[in-house]
Chains A and B, each alone.
Chain A
Amino acid sequence: MPAVELIGVTKRFGEVIAVDRLDLAVDDGEFFSLLGPSGCGKTTTLRLIAGFEFPTAGSVRIHGREVGLEPPNRRPVNTVFQSYALFPHMTVAENVAFGLEMRRLPSAEIAERVRKALDMVQLAHRADARPSQLSGGQQQRVALARALVCEPEVLLLDEPLGALDLKLRQAMQVELKDLQERVGITFVYVTHDQQEALTMSDRIGVMNEGRLLQVGRPEDIYERPTSRFVADFIGDINLLEGRRVDSETVELVGGHKIRVLGDPSSSHVTVAVRPERLELMSDSDRPPDRLNRLPGRVIRRTYLGDVIGYRVDCGGVVVEVKEENRSGLVVRQVGDDVLVVWEPEAGGIVVD
């Protein structure tokens, strides 16, 4: 049984459709991310699960129980807010104890669980501090402890790392993932940061304009995007426009023919290839015939340290290539004639 299940969920705010007939099932114990640009409906989806919004249509279930119209305090989920939303008039310990007090647990048990929760986030020594006396990262951890201490069936996280600086964010990403594996609670994580989603998630759902476009493991989403939006939103990608010639061949705008796998369903197709899947060769390298090749000229080179980026003009098509800066790499110069070469499997067909 899925931990969270949304069936045909629609949410309207007046004329605006924030979430549009969304179907989603999050497995038990899974780290699931909702990824998308701001305004795509991911936060509204999270709020529908939390109970801060009620669906206009459709069904919200948690472990099979319909909760769509129940208020937040009657749902077995807890939330970590983007702004942390700590209670400023209470100490750290009082913040963490709040949910347990509301459930009228015996005070000895509350004290014990609060202590353990603060230990877990390494803040036992700040138990009597006020939230305003803590750093952003510490406030973040209090918010996490406050939600996890209630042992929810599902933990909802709304861009919880958004306000932290890069170093701290990366450290917290690892910490969060470790924590999730340790406590074994289902996480539903909302973010607009694709790197964050790829790093932490078991599965990712990519959203745009209130719709769920693709759901899959990080490698599925990255390697085999099914739509132009998903391909473009996650990482850098070359989108090559062309016309289908036969089931395996696409003629690009510039006239070059390339091989693609999978049956293109329409005559006009877009082929998506990651820059790091492309390789630069010279004519003299004699690439094997099964590889796709586009002759072109380097028009820009970008040195990034671990990788070197090239922009290559292939007569009508401009592609971006990233080569790993390994020893023995032939570094090209602007103006060099090159062959852009890749395995046919590396290119996927995406729909608009």
Chain B
Amino acid sequence: MERLLAANAWAVFAFFYLPILVLIVLSFNENRNVNIWTGFSTRWYGEILDNADVLRALRNSLVVAGVSTVCSTALGTAAALAVERFRFRGRRLFDGLLYLPIIIPDVTMAVMMLLFFVQALDLVNGLLGTRLNLGLATISLSHIAFNISFVAVVVRARLGQLDPAIEEAAADLYAGRWQVFRRVTLPLILPGVLGGALLALTLSLDDVVITSFVSGPGSTTLPVYVFGLVRRGVTPLINAVSTVMLLGSMLLVGLSLMVQRRPATLGGGNR
């Protein structure tokens, strides 16, 4: 029985990681044709740096990820605080709606976003006579929209462990609302906030479906660009780009887990 389980574990492991291994190995293939191994080479990694399209897509990705991470972290943290700490009308409804973007299928979300932006841009352009179009701004906005939920979930988990009496103690010791947040609440939930931010960054860098719907001409991000290339046939260049993206994502997720696992001395107890 035990052996069977061990074998199963290995099988699952192989099922997950063999394709990745294949991808990485083939990214070092010298031959232009992916299926014919002719020798080891790093030429495709060099070509990434020479390829203006790839570099532009990478730059777009980083801009969108940066903007959406900062905004969604601030908004998601605020949302978590609101739901966890304050009593207000419609709190339960807000609580439920907050997590909707996690549940909604990407495609649905993408169509929603596209429809919304088209209508909104029409309205704004009509009223102000501008010629705004889909682009990095709309991509960033949609990434912010879905990332808020993920940040809120992570931050809330941390807030839930925080004894509210600690914040009351700060207020009792003459700290105003903002000082309580800056000196006590934020330092104590910081691992959650950083974890949420890194998660948001990862999700933003990896998103294809929503981004491809709401992007405009010249605003392609890296994963969308790769997706486009694949339709014209897989080349070792794609393998190389994918490998770079994979390593980047793994690094971010690893970091995210690490900061969240920082020792949880959140008071509330008599240890």
B174 touching A102 by the CB < 8 A rule? yes
Contact of A86 among B175, B183, B267 (CB under 8 A): B267
Interface string of B164-198 (1 = CB under 8 A from A): 01101111111111010001100110000000000
Cα-based distance from A73 to B177 in the complex (angstroms) = 9
A45 at the interface (CB under 8 A from B): no
A8 at the interface (CB under 8 A from B): no
Contact of B184 among A50, A87, A146 (CB under 8 A): A87
B96 at the interface (CB under 8 A from A): no
B168 touching A87 by the CB < 8 A rule? no
B268 at the interface (CB under 8 A from A): yes
Interface string of B14-37 (1 = CB under 8 A from A): 000000000000000000000000
Interface string of A123-139 (1 = CB under 8 A from B): 00000001110001001
A99 CB to nearest chain B CB (Å): 4
Query: Which chain A residue lies CB-closest to B166?
Result: A85
Cα-based distance from A82 to B166 in the complex (angstroms) = 11
The range of chain A's interface size is 20 to 34
Chain A residues within an 8 Å CB radius of B188: 88-89
Chain A residues within an 8 Å CB radius of B163: 83, 85
A131 touching B172 by the CB < 8 A rule? no
B187 CB to nearest chain A CB (Å): 5
Cα-based distance from A77 to B168 in the complex (angstroms) = 13
A103 at the interface (CB under 8 A from B): yes
A163 touching B174 by the CB < 8 A rule? no
Interface residues of A in 64-98 (CB under 8 A from B): 71-73, 77-79, 81-89, 98
Cα-based distance from A51 to B169 in the complex (angstroms) = 11
B267 touching A83 by the CB < 8 A rule? yes
Interface size on B, residues (CB 8 A): 25
Q: Which of A51, A77, A85, A102 has the most CB of B within 10 A?
A: A85
Interface string of A146-180 (1 = CB under 8 A from B): 11001000000000000100000000000000000
Interface residues of B in 228-268 (CB under 8 A from A): 265-268
Cα-based distance from A87 to B266 in the complex (angstroms) = 8
B165 touching A103 by the CB < 8 A rule? no
A189 CB to nearest chain B CB (Å): 16
B172 touching A79 by the CB < 8 A rule? yes
B270 touching A132 by the CB < 8 A rule? no
A103 touching B267 by the CB < 8 A rule? no
B169 touching A85 by the CB < 8 A rule? yes
B271 at the interface (CB under 8 A from A): yes
Chain B residues within an 8 Å CB radius of A77: 172
Knowing A85-B163, A85-B165, A87-B166, say if A99 contacts B267 (CB, 8 Å): no
Chain B residues within an 8 Å CB radius of A132: 265, 271
Chain B residues within an 8 Å CB radius of A88: 166, 188, 265-267
- Chain A interface residues (CB < 8 Å from chain B): 50-52, 71-73, 77-79, 81-89, 98-99, 102-103, 130-132, 136, 139, 146-147, 150, 163
22 A-B residue contacts at CB 8 Å? A52-B168, A71-B171, A71-B177, A73-B173, A73-B176, A78-B173, A79-B169, A81-B169, A82-B165, A83-B163, A83-B165, A83-B270, A85-B166, A85-B168, A88-B266, A88-B267, A89-B265, A130-B265, A131-B265, A132-B265, A139-B270, A147-B172
Given contacts A50-B172, A84-B267, 13 further A-B contacts (CB under 8 A): A73-B171, A73-B174, A79-B168, A79-B172, A81-B168, A83-B163, A84-B270, A85-B267, A85-B268, A87-B267, A131-B267, A139-B270, A150-B174
